[in-house]
Amino acid sequence: MSKEKKSKFITRDILKSSILGAFKKLNPRYMIKNPVMFVVEIGFVVTLLLCFFPGLFGDEGANLVLYNAIVSVILLITVLFANFAEAVAEGRGKAQAESLKKTQKDMQARILSEDGAESIVSASTLKKGDVVLVKVGELIPNDGEVIEGIASVDESAITGESAPVLKESGGDFSSVTGGTTVVSDWLKVRIMSNPGESFLDKMIALVEGASRKKTPNEIALNTLLVSLTIIFLIVIVTLYPIAVYSGVRLQISTLVALTVCLIPTTIGGLLSAIGIAGMDRVTRFNVIAMSGKAVEVCGDVDTMILDKTGTITYGNRMAAKFIPVGSTGEQDLIHYSVVSSIKDDTPEGKSVVELGERLSGKHQEAITGMEFLEFTAQTRMSGVDLPDGTKIRKGAYDAIQKYVQELGGTIPGDLEARVNEVAKLGGTPLVVSVGNRILGIIYLKDTIKAGLVERFARLRAIGIKTIMCTGDNPLTAATIAQEAGVDSFIAECKPEDKIQAIKVEQAEGKIVAMTGDGTNDAPALAQANVGIAMNSGTQAAKEAANMIDLDSDPTKILDVVEIGKQLLITRGSLTTFSIANDVAKYFAIIPAMFMAVIPQLGVLNIMGLSTPYSAILSALIFNAIIIPLLIPLAMKGVKYRPMRAEKMLSRNMLIYGLGGIAAPFVGIKLIDLLITPLLAALGM
C-alpha cells in the first residue's frame, strides 16, 4: 500500500469539530439509529432524574444522590466517547472532502450550439448531452467524453499525479473529469452528467459520508448487538424481583450500571467509526468506492481476474537476447538487427539498439540514404532499405517466412524450434532477415512487474484464486502465468470470455473482483462483485464499476482487497474484544451487588475490589474509557497478515478474546485502587 496518502490521525480542526459533533449526536432521533448506545443514553436520563428525585423509585439517602450523580456523569461520558469516535471518522472524511471542493469553482463553459456558434455560460447550467469547447489553460466544466481533438490534461486536482494525461476522441482514453485542466491544445467534449451528478460531486458526498448506508455485514452485526442488548435487558429486569425475594435492595442506578456494563457498548460505540474509517482508508489510497458495501465485499473476495498487459507485466516488450539460426554468427545478427532498428522509435526498437550496442560494444550510426519502413498491421514487419539495395526486415515469424519464400529464399531448419522455445518462455520472437536469408531471432520479453510474485503468494495464502486474462497464445500465456505465480489463465481472451469466467466462478458461490478501463470491459465490470475501473478509462467502464482508481494502476486491486480484509478483521476483532470484556465486568459488579446479603458470593470477587460502590463505578469508568482508547485502532484498522481464515480466526480469538477478558481485570482493579480513597473521603 505504498501509495496511500499519509496524514495525521487527528488534527486540531478535526478534534474541535469532533467534540462539537459528539454533543450534537446526543439528539435521541440520531441516537436511536445506534440501539446499544441509545440504551446507554436512556440509562443516563434515568440516573439523572434520580439525582433530582432520589425517592422516585423508593431509593433514598444522601449517599445515593451522590452515587446517582457519579453514575449519570460516567454514562454521559460513555455516550459522548462513542459519538466522538464516529465524529472523528466523519471529520477525517470531511477534511478530505474540503480539499476536493476546492476544485469546484464557479467555472465558465464555452458551450457550442448545433451550428457551431460559441457562447459562454455558467458550468452549473450544463446538462447531459451539451457539447463544450475547452482550450488550453481552461478547466473542464463537467464529466464528459472527448468527441474531437487531442490534448494533455492535468488531473492532479483529482488524482494527485503531476504528470499530464493525453486525452483524445475514441479509444479507452476519451473520458475526462470535471475540475481537471487542459494544459495543451484543445478538446471538444460532450457532457455526460447533469449538475450535481458529476464524478467529483459523488466523490465529495461519499467521502463526507452523506450518502453512506450500512452494509449487509454491518446490519447483521447490528442485529446481533441489538439481540444481545435485549437479552441482557430481560435478564436485568428479572433480576430486580429475584433480588427483592432474596432480601437484597438493589438501587435502580446499580441496575442501570449493570445493564451498561453487560451490553456490548464498546463495539456499539465503535461500529459506525470502523465502517466510515474503512471507506476513508480506501479513499486515502486514491480509490473511490461507490458504496461502503463495495469496500466490504473486497474483504470477501475469493477470485481475482486480472489482465496480463499493464497489470501483471509492464506491457513494453524489451529485447532480451539475440538467437542466431542456421550458419549465421551472433555478431552478424546483432549488427543487422541494430541497423534495422536505428530509426525505429518504438520501445521495442530502442531496446534492440540498446541491447545490441551493449553486447557488441559498438555504436551504430544511421547509414546515409537508408529508408525506414514502419511496422503495419498488414505487413506485420518493419525494417530498412539501404542505398546499396540491401533489404533488412524484422517481424512476426510467419510474415518473415512468407516474405523470404517470395524472394526465393530457404527457411533454416532450426528456425521453428527456436521460435517455439521463445514462445514457451513467454516471449515474442521477432525474426530478422537480410534479403532472402533469415539470420535469426530477437527475443522480446514482457517483464513481470516487481513484487507481484510475492503478492500472488500472499493472496494464495489467504485462499484467493488468481486468474490471468491475456490475448496471447496458450503457450505464451502458460509461461507468463507460471512465472507470475497466478493460479490459472485464459489465453486468447475476448471480452465475452471474461464475463463467462466471472459467471462460472459466481455459480460456485465465489465473490469475484476484476479491473478494466475500456468500454469492452464494462459488461465484465458490472458482472463482477467488485469492479475497479481506471480513472483514465472510458465513461462506460467507470459507470459499470463500483470502484474507481484515480491513479489508474491496475495492480491496485490487490491492495484494495487487503483493505477490505482489514475492515472485516477490524470489525470482528473489536466485536470479540467487546463481548469478552463483559466476562470481567460480570466478576466486578455481580459480587458487589449481592455480597452484603450473600457473603458466599465474595469468592467471585476475584479482583478484590474494595467496596460495592467502588466495584460498580470502576467497572463503569473502565467501560467508558476503553472506547476512546480503541479509537486509533478502529481508525487505522487491525494489522492485516495474510493467512488462512481458520488460522486468522484462531489468532484473533487468542489476542482479542483473551485480551478482552484480561484487560478489564487489570483496568478495573487499577481504577478501583485510584477511586477508593476518593469515595472514602465522600463517605461512600
Quick one: pLDDT at residue 204? 60
> Taking the mean position of all CA atoms in its chain, how far away is CA 622?
34
- pLDDT tens for residues 454-476? 888 888 887 889 998 887 778 77
**Residue 431, φ and ψ in degrees, nearest 5:** -85, 135
* Mean pLDDT score, 71-80: 92
Q: Are 271 and 222 in contact (CB under 8 A)?
A: yes
Grade residue 621 by pLDDT with cuts at 50, 70 and 90.
Answer: very high
- pLDDT tens for residues 82-139? 888 888 767 765 655 555 555 555 567 888 887 778 888 877 778 888 888 988 888 8
- pLDDT tens for residues 372-409? 988 886 788 999 999 988 999 999 898 999 999 999 99
180-184, 383-387, 507-511, 640-644, range with the lowest pLDDT: 640-644
Among residues 154, 307, 553, 582, which one is catalytic? Answer: 307
* Residues contributing to the annotated binding site: 344, 348, 375-382, 394, 517, 521
- pLDDT tens for residues 268-290? 888 877 877 777 777 777 787 77
Beta bridge partners of 514: 305, 531
Q: Does residue 584 carry a pLDDT above 70? A: yes
Q: Does residue 520 carry a pLDDT above 90? A: no
Average pLDDT value over all residues in the chain = 81
Q: Does residue 596 carry a pLDDT above 80? A: no
Active site residue 307: yes
- pLDDT tens for residues 427-447? 789 999 999 999 999 998 877
* Residues contributing to the annotated binding site for Mg(2+): 517, 521
- pLDDT tens for residues 234-260? 888 888 787 777 777 778 888 888 888
Amino acid at position 76, single letter: L
Cβ-based burial of 345 (10 A; exposed 0-12, middle 13-18, buried ≥19): exposed
Quick one: pLDDT at residue 6? 45
Alpha-helix runs per DSSP H in 154-251: 156-159, 199-208, 216-245
Quick one: pLDDT at residue 604? 75
Pairwise CA distance, residues 573 & 578, whole Å = 9
Quick one: pLDDT at residue 210? 43
Quick one: pLDDT at residue 3? 47
- Three-state SS letters, 634-660: HHHCCCCCCCCHHHHHHHHHHHHHHHH
Pairwise CA distance, residues 249 & 654, whole Å = 39
* Mean pLDDT score, 155-169: 65
Which positions ≥6 away from 221 have C-beta within 8 Å? 267, 271, 571, 575
Grade residue 232 by pLDDT with cuts at 50, 70 and 90.
Answer: confident
Q: Does residue 5 carry a pLDDT above 60? A: no
- pLDDT tens for residues 344-360? 888 788 889 999 999 98
- How many CB atoms lie under 10 A from the CB of residue 368? 7
* Residues contributing to the annotated binding site for ATP: 344, 348, 375-382, 394
Residue spans of beta strands (DSSP E) within 419-542: 428-434, 437-448, 465-469, 488-490, 512-516, 530-534
pTM for the full model?
Answer: 0.64
* Mean pLDDT score, 631-641: 83
